[in-house]
Amino acid sequence: MKKINLLLLSLCFNFLFSQKEAMFKETFFPVKYVLKKSKDTVKTKVLNVGLYDNSEFSPGTYIRQMTVLDPSDKKIRINESDIKFLEIRDLKKVRRRFVSSQSVLSKDTGLLQIMYNGSKVAWYRKSFYKGPIYTYQTNNIEYLIIKKNNDITEMSFKAPGLKPLLKEKLAVSPDLSLKIDEMADDDDLVQILRLYDKK
């Protein structure tokens, strides 16, 4: 009986240790970036900073500061405010592109993720920390830009008045209005903006 208990205890210990090791394993994603003081595109790897799972992209990777590898695989830190352009590919091959807010909003508030950039309309997302830094809890502000008159609307997906605001800003036809009512996620809004661009 003692041998069985010892064996079970050993298996539990190994399982817990392997789980902990996987949780704290560093994950690096391919990255390209251009610094504001340079025109050169740097290609390297960036340390993904996810709270529970490093295999999925987290905005904590670049908010305030990002950690990249130099040519000798040494970790170096780069401030978000020093970056002009950033492109990250996660392990699922999803590409995310970011630009300095200065180029879009004429004020420097850090990086904006390019969610959609069409001929008539563009959509950008600003991610930021909310609450204590150690929680890695992020919130988003969305910017909808009507290019014809450079009308910039700040909005939030969590705000109750989002759908009426989108209908007003896009001056939608009945078919788009129905799609806005049914909108549930980022992909839905991208589809709506694509349809708007075609009108």
**In the predicted structure, residue 105 carries a pLDDT above the cut 50:** yes
State how far the Cα of 167 lies from the Cα of 54, in Å rounded to an integer: 37
pLDDT in tens, 126-173: 998 877 656 667 889 999 999 998 999 999 988 888 999 999 998 877
State how far the Cα of 199 lies from the Cα of 50, in Å rounded to an integer: 40
Q: Which of 142, 62, 69 is nearest to 98 (CA)?
A: 62
pLDDT, greater one: 6 or 92 = 92
User: Which amino acid makes up residue 152?
Assistant: I
pLDDT value, residue 17: 46
pLDDT, greater one: 54 or 119 = 119
**In the predicted structure, residue 18 carries a pLDDT above the cut 70:** no
pLDDT value, residue 165: 92
Answer yes or no: are the C-beta atoms of 155 and 115 closer than 8 Å. Answer: no
State how far the Cα of 42 lies from the Cα of 30, in Å rounded to an integer: 11
| pTM of the predicted structure, to 2 decimals | 0.83
State how far the Cα of 173 lies from the Cα of 176, in Å rounded to an integer: 5
pLDDT value, residue 53: 67
- Give the whole-number percent of the chain exceeding pLDDT 90: 61
Annotate 110-126 with b (16+ C-beta within 10 A) or e (fewer): bbbbbbbbeeebbbbbb
Banded pLDDT at 4 (limits 50, 70, 90): low
State how far the Cα of 9 lies from the Cα of 19, in Å rounded to an integer: 15
Answer yes or no: are the C-beta atoms of 55 and 39 closer than 8 Å. Answer: no
**In the predicted structure, residue 19 carries a pLDDT above the cut 70:** no
Answer yes or no: are the C-beta atoms of 105 and 143 closer than 8 Å. Answer: yes
- Averaged pLDDT, 77-99: 95
* Mean of all residue pLDDT scores within the chain: 86
Strand order in the sheet with 65-69: 75-79, 65-69, 41-47, 28-35, 83-89, 95-100, 111-117, 121-129, 138-146, 151-155
- Averaged pLDDT, 18-24: 46
**Helix (DSSP H) and strand (DSSP E) numbers for the chain:** 5, 10
